[in-house]
Amino acid sequence: MPLSMKINVESWPLAGKFKISRGTRKVSDVIVVELSDGNYFGWGECFPYARYGEDIDSVQNQIKAVRSNIEAGADRHAVMDIMPPGAARNAIDCALWDLESKRTGARVWDLAKLSIPKPVTTVFTLGVDDPLIMGEKARENCLRPRLKLKMTGDGLDLERVRQIHTNAPASRLVVDANEGWNIEQYIEYAPQLKELSVEMIEQPLPSSDDEQLKFIERPIPVCADESCHDRSTLPDLVGKYDMINIKLDKTGGLTEALNLRTEALNLGLDIMVGCMIGTSLAMAPGVIVAQGAPIVDLDGPLLLARDRDPGLEFSGSIINPPEIELWG
C-alpha cells in the first residue's frame, strides 16, 4: 500500500547546558519521520551528529532522496540496501517498525520474535564541568544506581571522579572520554579509576588510535562507541574492546541494532545500549535492544527541560517499556 511521508525538524531545550569533550549543547535538534498509509501512522526520531559528518540539512536530504522508495512501499529490508547506517536510516527504520505494529496490532517485540520487554535501569549522565560542580551534581543524584561521567583529558579527570565518588559513594560509575584521552592517560588513570568504583571506560582513545588497546592490560572493561557503528565495524573491535555501545543513530535503526547485538554477543563482546540526546520517541526502540544489557544509557529525556507527551514512564532511573501510544 502506498505511503505518505512527512519530515519534521524539532528543537527540544535541555534542562541545563550539557558539555562533553567536543563542545557544549543547550538544545537537542532532532528530525522526526512520519509515515502514513491513510489509516495507520508510524514515526521515528533521529539526532544528526556532527562527529559523523551529519547535520539537520544533510540528514533531511538523505531522507528526501529515498522518499519515493518509501512511499512506493520499500520495507525495512529494502531500506537497509538503499541507505547507509546513520541518523537518516534510523528515523525511517523506526517509523516503519511503528507503522507495521499499528497495522498488525502486534507489538514490535512480537514482530521481532523477542520476549516481552522488562523495565531497564539507565545511567544518569553528568556533563563535563569543574570537579567541584560535578561533585555537587553527583550529590544531587546520589540515589541513582549508576552515574555516567563525561571526561575531557584536560588533566582534571581523576579529580572529577574522586569528587563524584565522594559525593555519591553508593552509585556505580562509568566514565566516557569521548575520544579525549591518549594511551598514556589511559594507562595512568585505569588502575586509579578501578579503586574509585569505575566499572567501565567508554571510548578512551580516538577511533583512529585505538589499535593501541590491543597491546595493554585493561583492568577495567573498555567499551567502543565512536569505533562501533554496525556489524561491518565489529571484526576490528575484537581484542581491543570488551563491550560495544549500540546506538540506533549509528546503526541506522532498530533492524541493524538487533543484528549487531546478536553478532557482538557471538563474538564475546558485552553490550551497552546508548543514545544521543533526544525524546522518549528516540529512546523507545532502544529499550527493546537494551533487554539483558549490563549497561543501559537511555537517559536522554531526563536531560531535557520537557519530554514528548506521552513519553516513556521513568521511575527514578528505571524505564518502563514503551506504551503503544508512544511507539511500537
Task: Tabulate helix, strand, coil % of the chain (nearest 5).
Answer: 40, 25, 40
Q: Which residue has the cell 563524584?
A: 164
Please report the pLDDT score of residue 21 as a whole number. Answer: 66
Domain range 120-319, its CATH number among 1.20.1240.10, 3.40.50.720, 3.20.20.120, 3.30.428.10: 3.20.20.120
Cell numbers linked to 139: 550529590
pLDDT per residue as tens digits for the range 17-60? 787 767 788 999 999 999 999 999 999 999 999 888 999 999 99
- Domain parsing of the chain, residue ranges: 4-105, 120-319
Distance CA 127, CA 14 (A): 12
SS3 at position 253: coil
Question: pLDDT of 105-121, one tens digit each?
Answer: 999 999 999 999 999 99
Q: Which amino acid is at 31?
A: I
Mark 126-161 as b/e (b = at least 16 C-beta within 10 Å). bbbbebeebbebbeebeebebbbbbbbbeebbbebb
Q: Give domain 4-105's CATH number out of 3.30.390.10, 3.50.40.10, 3.40.50.620, 3.30.300.30.
A: 3.30.390.10
How buried is residue 326: exposed, middle or buried, by Cβ count under 10 Å (0-12/13-18/19+)? buried
In the chain (328 residues long), the average pLDDT of successive 10-residue segments reads 93 88 85 97 96 94 97 94 97 98 97 98 96 97 97 95 98 95 95 96 95 94 96 96 98 98 98 97 98 98 97 98 97
Name residue 4's beta-bridge partners.
36
* β-bridge pairing 172-176 and 146-150: parallel
201-213 pLDDT, tens digit per residue, is 999 999 999 999 9
